[in-house]
Amino acid sequence: MIVDVLKNIATNRLAMDFAYGDKPSLNLKDGTVNDKYCLWLLPVDNKPQLNEYNRVIANSWDVALFLCIKADMDGGSADENGEDYYNEKWTKNIKPLYDMQAVNKMTMSFTCIESLTLSNFICKEVINLFDENMDGLYITFTIKEDLI
């Protein structure tokens, strides 16, 4: 269920390509479109909460995902360009995610789903992720669904 919710948010709300898989499979992902951001979702952990009758009364999913874009490989390397290399990656690949308010759009998408709440939100910038050299944001959070 949560995978479908996040896929819907990625494709319809954020206009990003969506991929689901573990780190090794995402590392081997081919066909990433240049100049288009992606939402790559890692497998989620569900921690159901049970009542005294062993009935599931809530689900709690730990989510980890990447909002990322394929880096320009013509930009040289850190050895060649020094600090400018990282400044360019920030300016071209990471800052636009903040400018387009991608994180805010993603979190606000959950306000339309009353049964789901977000918590423990952490957002970390990443550079040269995986073999595709993806740059962007690594985001972790918990989604709770009350069933009763």
pLDDT digit string (tens) for the chain, length 148 residues: 899 999 999 999 999 999 999 988 887 776 566 678 999 999 999 999 999 999 999 999 999 999 999 886 665 666 566 667 888 889 999 999 999 999 999 999 998 888 899 999 999 999 988 877 889 999 999 999 999 8
* Single-letter code of the amino acid located at 120: N
CB 54 within 8 A of CB 23: no
Within 8 A by CB and 6+ apart from 54, the residues are none
Q: Is 61 helix (H, G, I), strand (E, B) or coil?
A: strand
Q: Distances from the Cα of 71 to the Cαs of 91, 99, 119, 129, in angstroms?
A: 12, 18, 30, 9
Within 8 A by CB and 6+ apart from 5, the residues are 113, 116
pTM to 2 decimals?
0.88
According to the model, what pLDDT value does residue 60 have?
A: 97
What's the distance, Cα to Cα, between the start and end of the chain in Å? 17
Q: Alpha helices of the chain — where are they, by DSSP H?
A: 2-8, 23-27, 78-81, 83-89, 95-99, 102-109
